[in-house]
């Protein structure tokens, strides 16, 4: 591993591990977001505070840390950009500051896509919207989109990026295992429901 890749991994992880959901809710006087809902620090759980603006800000910042990591490190080559983007995704899910218990990584996944292959981010968004409209399951929409993205990247010749996204997609599926169990049981909450 070259020094650039090692530096990219460290930079990406540190950037990705910034727990924006926790910082934003605390700054808003809402306490620790880990004490409500699913207990994670992502935008979906921040939304459970009832503050849509805070959830939107969390979503944006969690995505942008993936984009920033990929773009900044990408100035030293595609491999460095991929390494930093991947590490930002890992940093969000397993932040050292929070005992390695973070979010599920979907927003950061999208942000990394924006930094590495913006067309794939559009594919993710398109698939997510279609599945969400058909099923009203946010988790299922994200899971299907994480399958579509590596396939699209591979089909369009971005095989190196596709390989990184396959690994990220597998991790995203593992992090969503509770959602998958609820989907199979028919108990997963739908978009707009209060359950």
Q: On the CB side of 51, how many CA atoms lie within 13 Å of its CA?
A: 18
The whole-number pLDDT of residue 195 equals: 47
* Digit-coded pLDDT (tens) for 129-187: 999 999 999 899 999 999 999 999 999 999 999 999 999 999 999 999 999 999 999 99
Q: Is the pLDDT of residue 99 over 70?
A: yes
| DSSP strands (E only) in 58-168 | none
The whole-number pLDDT of residue 46 equals: 87
Question: What is the overall mean pLDDT for the chain?
Answer: 92
The whole-number pLDDT of residue 60 equals: 95
Considering only CA atoms, which of 125, 123, 87 is closest in space to residue 108?
87
Q: Do 106 and 152 meet the contact criterion of CB atoms below 8 Å apart?
A: no
Measured CA to CA in angstroms, residue 21 lies from 17, 55, 118, 124, 134 at distances of 11, 8, 24, 22, 29
* Digit-coded pLDDT (tens) for 110-135: 999 999 999 999 999 999 999 999 99
The whole-number pLDDT of residue 1 equals: 64
CA distance 9 to 193: 39
> Residue 105: which region, alpha, beta or left (left: phi > 0; alpha: psi -120 to 50)?
left
Band the pLDDT of 45: cuts 50, 70, 90. Answer: confident
| DSSP strands (E only) in 85-176 | none
Band the pLDDT of 194: cuts 50, 70, 90. Answer: low
Question: Looking at residues 76-85, what average pLDDT do you find?
Answer: 96
The whole-number pLDDT of residue 128 equals: 95
Question: Looking at residues 7-16, what average pLDDT do you find?
Answer: 96
The whole-number pLDDT of residue 189 equals: 83
CA distance 148 to 135: 17
Cα 6 to the center of its chain, rounded Å:
22
Running DSSP on this structure, what letter comes out for residue 68? H
Tally of CB atoms within 10 A around 194: 4
Least confident of 4-18, 35-49, 104-118, 166-180: 35-49
């Amino acid at each position: 591993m070259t020094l650039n890749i090692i530096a990219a991994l460290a930079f990406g992880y540190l950037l990705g591990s910034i727990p924006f959901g926790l910082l934003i809710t605390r700054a808003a006087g809402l306490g620790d977001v880990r004490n409500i809902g699913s207990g994670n620090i992502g935008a979906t759980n921040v939304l459970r505070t009832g503050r849509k603006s805070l959830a939107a800000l969390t979503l944006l910042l969690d995505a942008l840390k993936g984009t920033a990591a990929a773009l900044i490190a990408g100035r030293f080559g595609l491999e460095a950009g991929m390494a930093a983007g991947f590490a930002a995704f890992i940093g969000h899910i397993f932040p050292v500051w929070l005992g390695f218990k973070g979010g599920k990584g979907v927003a950061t996944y999208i942000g990394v896509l924006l930094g590495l292959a913006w067309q794939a981010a559009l594919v993710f968004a398109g698939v997510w919207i279609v599945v969400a409209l058909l099923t009203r399951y946010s988790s299922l929409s994200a899971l299907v989109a994480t399958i579509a993205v590596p396939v699209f990247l591979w089909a369009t010749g971005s095989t190196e990026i596709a390989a990184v996204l396959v690994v990220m997609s597998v991790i995203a599926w593992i992090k969503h295992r509770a959602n998958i169990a609820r989907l199979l049981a028919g108990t997963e909450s739908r978009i707009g429901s209060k359950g």
